[in-house]
Structure 1
Amino acid sequence: MAPGKGIKPPVHRTTTGLISAGMGKVKCDEGRPSCGRCQRLLLECVWQPAQGKGDLRAKRQPTESSKAIVATTSRMDSVQMRRLPKDTFVVEFPNVSRTTIPFIHHFITFCSRMIAYANDSESNPFYMELVPYATSSPALLHSMIALAAGHLARVQPQHQKTATKHYSMALRELNTALSSPTTARSNPTLGSCLILCVYEISLSNNSRWKEHLQGARDLIKFRGGPQSSNFLTRFFALLDISGSLFAGRGPLLEGNYWIEDTPSAVGSKKLPSTGSSWPSYDSDGVMVEHFHTLMTFMARLSSLSADSMSAVGREHPESIESRAKIIYDDLMQWWWKVPENLRDQPIDWRTKNQEKSAAEKLEAESFDSTKACVCSCVIYLNHIVDPLSKGQQNEHVQEAIRQIFDIAREMPEGVGLEMGLHWGLFSAGAALFNDLEHEELVRQKLGTKSSTSLYNADHALDLLEAVWERQHKYNTRFDWRAVQNELGSNM
């Protein structure tokens, strides 16, 4: 043995490690009072007391919304999921291979908190309510593993084989579950169908997400209709309404079903069952309440867009324009009645308000995302009425585009918040005409964030690139919907 290489020097290990950093698998840099990693990830920075020292911040007491963790047990074929005391429970996954444990862990600690709302790490029904169902639902278990492995494969390609394998197994198990009326009505079956949609939207180049979203619609009908208090109905609505805006169709279910209950629906228990808000940082429900109302306008827009592309709509553009004006007036009337901190939040709040907690920062970011969606509605409406911008772009559209770009420039990257801006950036990008500077901004912001975002906007960006290329080449505007139909986009 070479001299000096037989014994390694002792390595300093911190004993005052950060609780929140440890639980989120974030290496602590021990910065005080708040470490740099937690500041970047918008986590609360909480320290354990050092041994023999009583002047450091005390360890945070566990709450009912404590995070779930995955731990191996003494048995080689099981996994346990525990929520820390005081509200303790254990979920065993019998017959689960040890090789799948990292993927279950990744679903709980990352995928579940990015699947519906950005950076939603507390009181999240996707791990608090849905994960335990996976112990008895092979379809749900395999869909969770497929999504987690697929996300990890973006930066670690060796996981793609696992993702593809479990995706195929999830499809097979879902077909088996659908053969039983009782199982078909269950939350695990609907949940697995929706997670497969997310897999196909985020990680696949095919358009099977449309088939599975329609399948989820059929399952909801089979259960007796949508129930707004069920988190799976709420999640279906997010996928349905956002998908309808891009797919050139109206919503798959009639009415404002995400805020209006169907009395006969199955699964009406309000979730999450802890009674906590979802997402956790929207403690007063301001963002969710008003975004759900905004979704009613988005649904009207998608239906109007589909009608405008029909033969009847092309023959009677005055009818489309009249309906668009009514929607715009209703939208503005509602928008001016929302709380001022949502509507008029200053763009420089990040630099002016340094005392905000992590939850308050996430809430403020969600307000910006909501405002960007309102601006998108304005742009989208104008595009329906004047898709080729034959006249000069009106001042309301110009202001909406400016606000979206201002928000995009200020919103931090690497925290998973980008998903809230995808539609806004796409709408603003589609309204550009030979504007190289802003095309590059959209390109940068819509570019894939492999490790920090579950969803990507690759298809949307590909469509914009095709539109921009045509506009630069022919020096005339193109309707992105027509280009999408021409390309047969899977977006």
Structure 2
Amino acid sequence: MSQPPGATDRPIRRRFAADGRVRSGCLTCKARKKKCDGQASDLDGRCRSCVRLGLVCEQPPLRRVPVRPPRRKARRDDEITSSSKDENGWRAASQVAGSSTDGDEDGDEVAEGTGTLAGSGSYIPDDSGSWDGIERVLLRYFLDHVAPLCSILQQDGNSFCSVLLPMAIVDPSLLHALFAYASVHVDTASPAIPVTPEARIKFESQVTRGLADAIKNNAVTESTIACALVISTAEVIGGDTSRWLLHLQGAGHLINHFGIPRLLRTSDGAFLLRDFAYHDIMASLSTGHRALVNGVYWVQDVNATVKSADSFMGLGHHIFTHLTEISAFAADTADLDLSSCSDRRSRETLRAEDMAQALRSEDLRLQVDPTDSYIKALIHHAEAFRFASLFYLYRHLLRFSDAGAVYRLRMEDCVRQILHHVSQVPSNLFCEIGLLFPLFMAGIGCGDNTSMIQYIQNRLTCIETWTRFKHVGRARDLLQLLWDNGRTDWELMLRELDWNLSFA
């Protein structure tokens, strides 16, 4: 058959092979450098990859068509200005969402070498007011500001990111827990970020639903445990005095269900164990109850040499092993007083003396660089915990021991030692976050010494100012109530206030 003239000159229109990659793919898949099928779900508009991984499916923004002035042709530079305005608007939003790999350009960083927040933040969600907009903002805020504050380490403190974020990619419940955590902290640290109560309720509801489904279906994983820990810690820094303990107890049940040996098999599981152990031990000291899990369960080798600092315990790993015994001793002898059976009081006093001697003589077993200034600060951090633990033990012995005068003298020495070691930790250093328990014990034992009281007040105020952790303010307020009323019975005061206070 003959072809019409010029048919052979027409370019042949070819179709690319269907390999699953489309130009209209979502921005989430593009950021992950993965193929996107481009098929939006009828349910929520997400592509199949984002649905499978439980990710927010971010679609490219619609471009506006510039309005041309009537009766004259729009100048090209006007078009460029209008187009670049939209592109810059999206670029600013994507930088807030963390899609920029060149570092922060808005100045909201944690100042290097200190714990001070360098900027107040310019995180503004998109005009649409969608949940996705505020979620992107909160995730970026968590990475930049909250995660570094979760560790007492000056360097490599972002293990929270390296452990929790990979879990959150495949577990939407944990991702919403991070949103909730950031939303609690942002209230006081950066009020320019508008997080509505409805948004926070939505995040917490997603976490609760995920935890309930995991327990119901017997599908508890490491990320399930992480959810409970994150929510508990979020309640703590928000100044809560009741719910945080319930979440921590829930995390303890999940750990026992999942199995400590299974957690120790992976580095992520061991990290979660140390996280829980630190908060569990601090909670046992402030509530007067036994630790939820017994023994030194968070490490493979109890007597191992300390070669590097831990995110939670610093260089005081071996000091914390004694704290678990002290909290158990306090729980066992809570019913004793000077009118109790003398034989039992004598036995328990000898038991406490053995514990005190072991704690006083405990070697930190360090294999670290002693000339490093930050390592020196961490050593003083560990020593402050040693003497705060001794003070806690001696003070408990005053309830039923006949040698009250001896223990009061020892407690006075412990207070001096605590304040000496705390003073060697520079202000705004990250490990200062871990000094709440030593400072509180020193506040209980300083009596009416005005200079000590002023120093403790100033140090706690400094910690609260740069961390924005409200539970530090709760501890300072409790000390102030005790000082104003000439009291030292802080456990009774907590019961009167109906508070559960965390020292973590």
TM over 0.5: yes
**Structure 1 residues 249-260: aligned runs within 5 Å:** 249-260=289-300
1:320 corresponds to which of 304, 327, 348: 348
Residues 421-440 of structure 1 mapped to structure 2, 5 A cutoff: 421-440=435-454
1:426, 1:460 within 8 Å by CA — same for their partners in 2?
A: yes
Structure 2 residue identity aligned to 1:432: C
Post-superposition Cα deviations, 1:354-389, rounded to whole Å, max 9, x if no partner, equal: xx7xxx433322211111101111111111111599
Write the distance in 1 (CA, Å) between the matches of 2:252 and 2:491.
24
Cα distance in 1 for partners of 2:231, 2:357 equals 38
- Residues 281-292 of structure 1 correspond to what in structure 2 (within 5 A)? 283=308, 291-292=316-317
2:361 corresponds in structure 1 to: 333
Structure 2 residue 324 is matched with structure 1 residue 299: yes
Measured in 2, the distance between the counterparts of 1:313 and 1:160 equals 56
**1:89-108 to 2 correspondence within 5 Å?**
97-108=132-143
Q: 2:238 aligns with which of 191, 203, 210?
A: 203
Match of 1:222 in 2: 257
Larger Rg: 2
Measure the CA separation in 2 of the matches of 1:402 and 1:240.
Answer: 27
Counterpart amino acid of residue 478 in structure 1 = T
Query: d(CA) in 1 for partners of 2:338 and 2:227?
Result: 38
CA distance in 1, matches of 2:202, 2:338: 41
RMSD: 3.8
SS at match of 2:405: coil
Identity level (%): 23
Q: Which residue of the partner structure matches residue 12 of structure 2? A: none
Aligned to 2:281: 241
Contact 1:142 1:166 in 2 (8 A): no
User: What one-letter code is carried by the residue in structure 1 that aligns with 2:170?
Assistant: S
- Please state how far the C-alpha of 1:423 moved relative to its aligned partner: 0.7
**1:135 counterpart = 2:149:** no
Q: State the AA in 2 paired with 1:397.
A: M
Q: Which runs of 5+ in 2 are unaligned?
A: 1-101, 118-126
Q: Distance in 2 between matches of 1:288 and 1:116?
A: 9
Contact 2:174–2:224 under 8 Å retained in 1:
yes
The whole-number CA distance in structure 2 between the counterparts of 1:155 and 1:324 is 43
**Residue 59 of structure 1 corresponds to which residue in structure 2?**
none
For residues 378 and 224 of structure 2, what CA distance do their matches in structure 1 show? Answer: 30
Write the letter of the residue equivalent to 1:111: V
Contact 1:415/1:452 (CA < 8 Å) preserved in 2? no
Distance 1:413 1:485, change over 3 A: same
C-alpha displacement of 1:255: 1.8
Alpha-carbon contact 2:214-2:224 (below 8 Å) kept: no
2:502 matches 1:484: no
Asked whether 1:384 is paired with 2:396, we answer: yes
Aligned equivalent of 2:209, options 175, 181, 194: 175
Q: What do residues 308-364 of structure 1 show as CA deviations (whole Å, max 9, x unaligned)? A: 3225897243333222101011112323x644989xx8xxxxxxxxxx7xxx43332
- Please name the residue that 2:457 is paired with: 443
Show the counterpart of 1:213: 248
Preserved contact between residue 233 and residue 258 of structure 1 (Cα < 8 Å): yes
Distance in 1, matches of 2:366 and 2:106, equals 35
AA matched with 2:276: F
Task: Map 1:393-432 to 2 at 5 A.
Answer: 394-432=408-446
Deviation at 1:450, TM superposition (A): 3.8
